Amino acid sequence: MNSAVIVGYARSPFAIANKGQLTRVRPDDLAAAVVRGLLAQTGIDAGEIEDLILGCAFPEGEQGFNVGRLVGMLAGLPRSVAGTTVNRWCGSSMQAVHMAAGAIALGSGRAYIAAGVESMTRVPMMGFNPMPNPALAEREPGAYMSMGITAENLAATYGISRAEQEAFAADSHRKAAAARDGGRFDAEIVAIDTPDGTTVSRDGAIRPETTADTLATLKPAFRTDGSVTAGTSSPLTDGAAAVLVVNEEFAKAHGLKVLARIRATAVAGCDPTIMGIGPVPATRKALNLAGLTVDDLSVIESNEAFAVQALSVARELGFDPSRVNLDGGALALGHPLGATGARITGKAASLLKREGGAFALATQCIGGGQGIATVLEAV
């Protein structure tokens, strides 16, 4: 079996949807800019790329057609490079990484761009024409349940208090602000030119002044008697991310700088009414395949869809908090649905390189009741 390695990771700045600095940028243009940035960063000859696999949770409107193919054209890739769009909701671009690794393992190709994008400003969550199946809704009420309510369900199931959630969220902002101020995002961020004539190069959602006390003043966002607020939920975000996944031999032959090897991947389904717990079965599967345990992981990127969701997963899997989301998570950075998987996988790979250690994990939950996980190893 051919092994796949990650040799590059880039992303756009993440900006708050509907009021941030990227509202006027089309998602296809945004993803194309990140792809160009990734090519520049890695120095790969674009003609070597087999396929551009683009994750997107609501592939319609400006994210419609086959946006994966169109982003390749916009980025100036040779016409010979194929393009596809994949959807596993929040897991879309981690799925893109998995598909790239699988194709490499099979020998289908040697170099893939696994990217993801979401403009939650320009294509609303649930899309323009939500048309759910009434019979399914009857049988499986969780199928279309609002994400906020699933977070409340987790809070009840795991008995996680509002105060714990708020402390966790404040910590995410603190870590993200420290990473930003320490220049630790500089290498990964591709500056984006907007139609307004501005250039955006910094994340827009990080609020270092956030404290547990300020969060405590917010009203519950999803249920009057609930514990989840806007401050303990990841914000609606515009953003794109991309990783370059190549055959390990190919990397050596072309002198590409390897960040990490993809050791194992997994997806798993779970109860949709507590979809946020999805990373637990997915991670267990992936670790099992890798023959590892949680204690073997020196770097963990666990997506923060909600504070209560990330806390439930950490508690259930027994994560050491000092190894989790070192540069902050989605609560502070934002969660552009289709882009998050590529971001946390690329981030985990680059952190493994930066921090040292043997193994890393990237995992996230998915609406409708799923989890997805990737185990990486140092090379």
Residues known to be catalytic: 90, 335, 365
Closer residue to other proteins in complex, CB, 40/126: 126
Binding of other proteins by 58 (CB under 8 A): no
Binding of other proteins by 129 (CB under 8 A): yes
Closer residue to other proteins in complex, CB, 153/340: 153
Sole binder of other proteins in the list 18, 80, 108, 133 (CB under 8 A): 133
Binding of other proteins by 322 (CB under 8 A): no
Distant-in-sequence contacts of 59-65, Cβ < 8 A, 24+ apart: 59/85, 59/87, 60/123, 60/127, 60/128, 60/129, 61/122, 61/123, 61/127, 61/128, 62/26, 62/27, 62/28, 62/119, 62/122, 62/123, 63/27, 63/28, 63/117, 63/118, 63/119, 63/122, 63/123, 63/338
Distance between CA 215 and CA 231 in Å, rounded?
A: 6
Binding of other proteins by 218 (CB under 8 A): no
Binding of other proteins by 65 (CB under 8 A): no
Binding of other proteins by 216 (CB under 8 A): no
Binding of other proteins by 226 (CB under 8 A): yes
Distance between CA 57 and CA 72 in Å, rounded?
A: 18
Sole binder of other proteins in the list 89, 112, 222, 306 (CB under 8 A): 222
The b-or-e profile of 188-200 (16+ CB within 10 A means b, else e) is bbbebebeeeeeb
Minimum CB–partner distance for residue 60 and other proteins (Å): 9
Sole binder of other proteins in the list 40, 76, 78, 128 (CB under 8 A): 128
Query: How far apart, in Å, do the first and last CA atoms of the chain sit?
Result: 17
Minimum CB–partner distance for residue 225 and other proteins (Å): 9
Binding of other proteins by 131 (CB under 8 A): yes
Binding of other proteins by 18 (CB under 8 A): no
Distance between CA 243 and CA 245 in Å, rounded?
A: 6
Tokens of residue 63, six digits: 């994210």
Sole binder of other proteins in the list 78, 107, 130, 291 (CB under 8 A): 130
Sole binder of other proteins in the list 221, 230, 358, 379 (CB under 8 A): 221
Q: For helices 307-317 and 162-181, what crossing angle results, to 10°?
A: 100
Site residues (CB under 8 A) for other proteins? 61, 126, 128-134, 137, 144, 146, 148-149, 220-224, 226
